[in-house]
A and B are shown apart, each in its own frame.
Chain A
Amino acid sequence: MRTRRAAVELVAPAALVVATGLVGAVVSQTSEIYFVTALISVSTVVAIYVFVGNSGVLSFGHISFFAVGVWAAGVLSVPKEEKPATMPYLFDFLASTTVGNVPSLLIAAAVGGVFALAVGLPLMRLSGLAAGIATFAVLGITNNILRYYEKIGPGLNTFSSVPETTGLLQATIGAVLVVTAAFAYQRSRLGRQLRATREDPAAARAVGVSIYRQRLASFALSGFLAGFAGGLYIHFIPINVDAVYLDLTFITLAMLVIGGATSLWGAVVGALFVSGLDSVLGETEDGMTVLGRTIDLPSGSRIVVVSAVMALVLIVRPSGLTGGREFSLPSLGRRARPAEAK
C-alpha cells in the first residue's frame, strides 16, 4: 500500500509532464513553442521546489543558478567559428572549446550545482528574512557580473548561434528527469531529514538532524537542477541577461506558490497552470476564436491578466491549487483531493 501510494506520487506528476509533451506533439507547429516553454518552466519550478518546498526557506537566488546554466551551455555550445563575432572577449579556453548538446547540459547542471554549493556554504547558516535577502543579493551580483563581464559570455547582447536542440522531446525528457530526481530526493533519508526541519526545527535538531547540512545539500542539488533547466532553455530560445533576472524569479516563485509550495505535485501543477494561462492569453493577444467569437486583447494585457489571476488565486487559495499536498488517488489517500487540483 505504501509503495503504491509512493509510486502514485511520482507517476502522477511525471504523467502530467508526458501528457503535456504528447499534446504538444499533436497540436499545430505554431503552438508547439508554448508547450516547450511550459515544460522548461516545470523543470525550473521543480528545481526551485527541491530547496524551497522541502526546506520551507524562501530563496530568490535560484535564477542565478539557472542563469549560470544558460551561460555555461550557451557559451560552450556555440560553434568555435561563430564565437569571435558575437563574443570577442571570451577567455581562450571558452573560445576554443565547443561541446555537443548533452555534454553542454551536463556542464550547465554541474556549474549550477557547484555555484549553489559555493554560495550555500556561507548562506545556509541564515534563515528567514535574512536568507531571503541574502539569496536576492546573490541574484543581483550574478546578474551584474553576467551583464558586464564579457570574458565569460555575450554580456548585454543576446546569445546567437546556439544550436536549438531543445524541442518537445528534449524538454519532456528533461522535465521527467528533474521530476524524478526531485522525487528520489524527497523520499530519501536526506530529503526526509530536511522536511523534518521544515515542520519543526527544534524537534529535528533534537533528534540529531543538522539543519545547516541538510539545507546545504538540498541547495546544491536544487542549483544543479536549476542549472540543467537553464541549459535546456538556452538550447530552445536565444535570450539575453534581462531574461534571467527579476521577472523570471518572480514568475517561477509565483508558479511554485500558486501550485502549492510544499509538494512536488504542486510545483508541477503550478508551473503548468501559469504557463498554460500565459499561453492562452498570448494567443488571445493575436486574436483567437472561441465558440465562433473572436477575442482580441490589446498586446501587453497578457501580463496584466496573469498577475491579476496570480493575486486572486493566492487570496482565494493561499495554500495553492493543490493545497501543498502530493497527488493521491481518493481510494488510497485518507483525504480526497480537491477537484480543482486538475
Chain B
Amino acid sequence: MTGVLASGLTNFVGDALDKQVQIDAVGLGAIFALMAVGIGLVFGVMRLINFAYGQLVMAGAFALAFASDHDWPVGIGIALCFAVVLALSLAMERVVFRPLRSQSAAVMLIATFAVAFLLQSIALLWFGPLGKTATSLVELNRPISVGGVEIRKITIVAIVVAAVCLALLVLLLDRTSIGLHMRAAAMDFPTARLLGVRANLVSTVAVLIAGALAAVVAVMLTVQYPTVTPTFALQETILVLAGVVVGGMTRLLSATLGGFLIGYVSGLLGGALPSSQSQYLPSFLFGLVILVLLVRPDGLFTRGRGLVERV
C-alpha cells in the first residue's frame, strides 16, 4: 500500500516537474492573472466584486465567433471583440454599478449575479446552448519545438501579452494622473473625493481597463477553446475569484499573484493528476483554497494582519 502510494507520489511529482506541464501551467496562470487584474482593479476602486466579469469574456468570445462565422479578417474580429466588451462594461458601470456604489458588498455582488445571469441568458437565447466556434485564430494552437519541448504558440503569446499588459498597467497607475487618482480612490474613496478625485471618472476608467483586459482574455481563451457557449469562461471566473481572495484583495499585486497562482496550480494538477482522478481536479483545487484561507484569511501575499476591530 505504502509502496503504491510512494510510487504514485513520485510519478505525480515527476509529472508536475515535467517542462511541458510547467510551461502550460505558466501560460494558464498568465491568462488567469489578467482576469485577476480586471477583477482586482474594479474591486480596489469600487469595493465591488464583479461576478459578471466572466460574461464579459464570454461576450467578447461570441464577437470573435461571430466574426469568424462571417469570414471577416482577424483584425476586424478582434476589434469587434474589444468594441463589444468595452460597450458592455461601460453600460454595466452606468446602469448597475454607479447607482449601487454606496450599497453593501452583498447587494452589489448579487446585482452582478443578476447581470451575469442576464448576459448568459441573452447569449443562450441568441446563440443556443451549443454556441458557435471561433476558428480564425486556431493557427496559434500549433506547437513549435523549443529545446525539445513542444510549446503551443498561444502559450508564448499568452505569457508575452500578459507581461506587456501588466507592464502597461503599472506605467498607467504609476506615471499618469488618472493612475494616481485611481490609487488614491483605492486607498480611501471618500477622502480621495474630498481632494478632488472625480469618482465617476475614476470608476469608469477602472471598468474600461478591466473591460479591455477581458477582451484580451477572450481572444486568448478562444484560441485554446474555440467552442464558445453561454457558459464560456464561467469556470475560469470562479477559479480567478477564488484566486484573488486567496492572494489577498487589499492590493492589486497580491490579487494578481493569487490569480496567477491558482491558474498555475490548476495547470499543474491538470497535468500531473493520474487520469483516473483528473475528474476530481476541482475538488483538489477548492480544497487547497479552503486550506489557504483557513491559514491566511487575509490573503497569501498580504503583509501583516488585516484591520480587525478590537474591543
Contacts and interface: CB of A to CB of B under 8 A. Distances in A.
Q: Do A and B come from one complex?
A: yes
Interface of A: 58, 122-123, 125-127, 129-130, 132-134, 136-138, 140-141, 143-145, 147-148, 201-203, 205-206, 246, 250, 253-254, 257, 261, 298, 300-301, 303-304, 306-308, 310-311, 314-315, 318-319
A201 B286 contact: no
A136 B109 contact: no
B124 A300 contact: yes
Interface string B144-168: 0000000000000000000000000
A310 B290 CA distance: 30
Contact of B111 (A127, A301, A315): A315
Given A129-B249, A141-B283, A315-B96, A307 B106 contact: no
A127 B113 CA distance: 21
B118 A206 contact: no
Given A138-B290, A318-B107, A311 B118 contact: yes
B290 A307 contact: no
Interface residues of B, number: 46
A298 B309 CA distance: 52
Contact of A301 (B125, B234, B286): B125
Contact of B110 (A123, A125, A254, A304): A254
B279 A126 contact: no
A160 B99 CA distance: 46
A137 B289 contact: yes
B283 A144 contact: yes
A98 to B, nearest CB: 29
Majority-rule SS of B interface residues: helix
A125 B296 CA distance: 11
B297 A137 contact: no
20 contacts: A58-B109, A127-B297, A129-B249, A130-B245, A130-B297, A133-B246, A136-B238, A137-B287, A138-B286, A140-B285, A141-B286, A143-B282, A144-B280, A147-B279, A254-B114, A257-B110, A300-B121, A304-B125, A307-B121, A311-B111
B72 interface: no
Interface string B219-252: 0000000000000001000100110011001000
Contacts of B205: none
B5 interface: no
B279 A148 contact: yes
Nearest to B242: A133
Given A129-B105, A310-B117, 18 more contacts: A122-B290, A132-B245, A133-B293, A136-B238, A137-B287, A141-B286, A143-B282, A145-B283, A148-B279, A148-B280, A254-B110, A257-B110, A261-B106, A307-B114, A307-B121, A308-B114, A310-B110, A315-B96
A47 to B, nearest CB: 18
Nearest to B245: A133
A136 B242 contact: yes
A18 to B, nearest CB: 28
A126 B122 CA distance: 36
B121 A140 contact: no
B290 A123 contact: yes
Contacts of A257: 106-107, 110
A311 B96 contact: yes
B115 interface: yes
Most chain-B CB neighbours within 10 Å: which of A125, A246, A306, A319? A246
Interface in B119-133: 121-122, 124-125
Contact of B293 (A126, A141, A147, A203): A126
Contacts of B241: 133, 136
Contacts of A125: 294, 297
Contacts of A134: 289-290, 293-294
